[in-house]
Each structure stands twice: as C-alpha cells, then as structure tokens.
Amino acid sequence: MSDQRIYNFAAGPSMLPLSALERAGSEITNYRGSGMSVMEMSHRSKVFMDIFQETQDKLRRLMGVPEGYHILFLQTGASGQFSAIPLNLIGKTGRADYAVTGNFSSLACKEAQKYGQINLAADTGDRNHCYIPRQSELKLDPDASYFYYCSNNTIYGTEWDYVPETGNVPLVCDMSSDILSMPVDVSKYGIIYAGAQKNMSPAGLTVVIIKDGLAGHELPFTPLMMNYQTMIDKDSMYNTPPCWCIYMLGLTLDWVEENGGTAGMERLKWQRANMLYETLEQSKLFQLHAEKDSRSGMNVTFRAGSDELDAKFVREAAEAGFVNLKGHRKVGGMRASIYNAMPVEGVEKLCEFIRTFEKRN
Ligand SMILES: *Cc1c(COP(=O)(O)O)cnc(C)c1O
C-alpha cells in the first residue's frame, strides 16, 4: 500500500501520516473488538465517548492547552468561524481589529463587517500579500472586542513569526494551515481555531480552542449552531459531531506525539522548508513570492518566470510523482504545501527535481 503513494503537495485536503491511515484501515470494519466501524457508532456510545475524550486530552496535552480553555470539535469549516467569531465576540464593544494578510483573513474581515465596526489593523494587499506586518506597523484600536489574524497565509505563502501584542484585547487566530506545526503559547490567545484538513484530519472537523469567559455574550440573532456557549455546555455534542474526523485526529495526534510533539513538528517543518527555500534561492530561474522574513514553513510559493514555464513545471513534476503543485490563481506559479505529514524525503526529491528542471530549461 505505502509504496504506491505519491508526494502530494496539495494545499488541503492534504497528506495525512501514513501510520494514521494504516491504523484506520486496519480498524475500519471492526474498531478494537466493538464489531463495528467508527463510522457506524452512536456518538453517545461508551466506545465513541472514549475516543472523543482521549482525542480531546491528547490535543490538550500536545498543544499545552491550559485549564480555563475549552476545546470544541465543530463542523462549521474554518469559513464558518468567519461568522461565528463576530457573532459571539463583537457584542462587547461593537468593534474589532482585523489584520488582513491574505485571502482568508480578507474573507473573515468582510464577513465581520456585517456585525460591527471593523478597523483594518493591517492590510498587506498593497504588495499582493507578500509580507507580514511588523508589530510596530499594527494600527490597534484599544476598544476593539478582539484582534483577528491568520497565522499562516495558505495561498500567499507567508507566516507570522511572532504573536501580536494587543494589550487587553483578546487575540483570535485562524491557524488552519499551521496548527500543530510549532509549539504555541495558548495562554496568549482568546480563540485559536483551525479547519482540520491541512494538518490534522480529513475535511469536516473544525477545532476551536476558546478561553473561558469569552463565550456567552453573543449577538441575540446568533444561530444556535454558531453559539459557542451552546457547544461548551454540551461538550461539542449538542448534535452529532464529526465522529470519523475526531477519530482520525486522534490517530494523527499519536503520530505527532511519536515524532517529538509540536517541537518535533517545528524541527521537521523548517528542515523541509529551509531546504526548499535554499534550493529556490540558489536558482536563477525561479523566484519566490514571499519576502524573506515573512516566509511560511508550510506553503512555499514560487514562479519559473513565465506562464508557459510554470505550466511545464507543474506538468512535468506531476509526471515525476510530485502532484498538486499548481499555485492558486491569485499568486500564479507554483505552491508546494509541505504540511506536517509531508516526509522530508518528499521535499528532498522535489529539490532534486527543481535543480534538474532548471538545467534542462
Ligand atoms: C483552508 C483555509 C480556510 C478555509 O477552510 P474551510 O474549512 O474550507 O472553510 C480558512 N483559513 C485558512 C488559513 C485556510 O488555510
């Protein structure tokens, strides 16, 4: 099974750890003697409740989620949180700060404008989101109900290398594409959330880590299913949670733990990314999109100089076993998404391919 797998550089859904997939495969018709698949279980059964609890505990341990924070397993998609966040939090002062550094923070900002007065704390659209603003450049509103940012810009290939300082204003962060790729001091945040399909699990699960006290002040018309307090009160089980994805998250977390936890993931992340950035920097053919001090360790965006060469690169790479390297249309060129589960070897081989492609062209 494993020897037929190829290096999949997709932005998401993306590669999952082979050990997690194989474990799921071996348990798919009969989960540990229960006589049924996790897909077939009642979410209220003891056997599933144990999976749920263990997964939540593992995530709490691996991310160092302190007491006083809830971990929610929701189905909204990361995009659903673009609405849930203002609905639940903006009522405090009617205002919020947004740092727009890419596509998803821009969408989140537009959505929030329906519910309150939004201050653009930063907007990197002036240079097609090729950089991350520095702390001194952030325009902060001291009366904001929260400060919103996206730690890794999946489409543009930039990543914040610091946690913004916002005084008493709670930090809200979309970590969809870099969660579990480095240790995070959760106590600095009000909310961390992530769609699971990049670094955690199949699509269908959204993890929300929320500090006690932030929920319960939602706008009166907040839909029931978007109300954090409902989900906190019912431990994410107001309705059927995404059971299979929660189980798969547990298996991914086992793999993270076996590979040194989030610190181990961070070492691997920069081992992969630095290798690729160095190869591209040494090249005379390829150019990087992101500025050097803003580069993402998860999504590497680059171009070969012309649309024809870009297309040729993507085509020939796929033939050589490196798939889904076409960049997003907003940036063009190529994007190599190298999330946690991408083996270092996959990036080594891609670097070799890049060097030979350059020689031939
Ligand atoms: C992929 C992605 C999203 C969108 O996730 P959905 O689950 O498809 O809504 C949002 N934010 C970031 C940073 C992403 O990478």
Write the pLDDT tens digit of every residue in 318-354: 999 999 999 999 999 999 999 999 999 999 999 999 9
The hierarchical CATH code for the domain 22-257 is: 3.40.640.10
Residue 217: the pLDDT is 96
The residues spanned by each domain of the chain are 7-15+260-360, 22-257
Cα(139)–Cα(340) distance, integer angstroms: 33
pLDDT in tens, 17-45: 999 999 999 999 999 999 999 999 999 99
Q: What is the pLDDT of residue 3?
A: 67
Ligand 1 pocket, residues with Cβ under 6 angstroms: 12, 77-79, 104, 150, 154, 174, 176-177, 195, 198
First to last CA, the chain: 35
Q: What is the DSSP letter of 326?
A: B
Are the folds of 7-15+260-360 and 22-257 the same? no
Taking CA atoms only, the protein residue closest to ligand 1 atom 12 is 176
Q: How many CB atoms within 10 Å of residue 324? A: 18
| Burial zone of 141 (CB within 10 Å; 0-12 exposed, 13-18 middle, 19+ buried) | middle
Q: Tell me how far the alpha carbon of residue 156 lies from the centroid of ligand 1, in angstroms.
A: 13
Q: How far is the CA of 176 from the centre of ligand 1 (A)?
A: 6
* pLDDT, tens digit, 9 for 90 and up, residues 215-231: 999 999 999 999 999 99
Q: Do residues 124 and 130 lie in contact, with contact meaning Cβ atoms separated by under 8 Å?
A: yes
Tokens of 61: 């341990």
Give me the amino acid identity at 225: M
Specify the CATH class of 7-15+260-360 in words.
alpha beta
Pocket mutation for ligand 1, best pick of 176, 179, 208, 340 (most atoms within 8 Å of C-beta): 176
* Phi, then psi, of 78 in degrees rounded to 5: -60, -40
The Cα 302–Cα 323 span in angstroms is: 15
Instruction: Give the chain's mean pLDDT.
Output: 97
Report the C-alpha gap between 183 and 229 in whole angstroms: 27
Pick the atom of ligand 1 nearest to 153's CA: 13
User: Torsion-angle region of residue 129: left (phi > 0), alpha (psi -120 to 50) or beta?
Assistant: left
This prediction's pTM: 0.98
The pLDDT value given to residue 2: 57
Measured in residues, the chain has a length of 361
Query: Cis bond leading into 223, ω under 30°?
Result: no
pLDDT digits (tens, 9 = 90+) for 264-292: 999 999 999 999 999 999 999 999 999 99
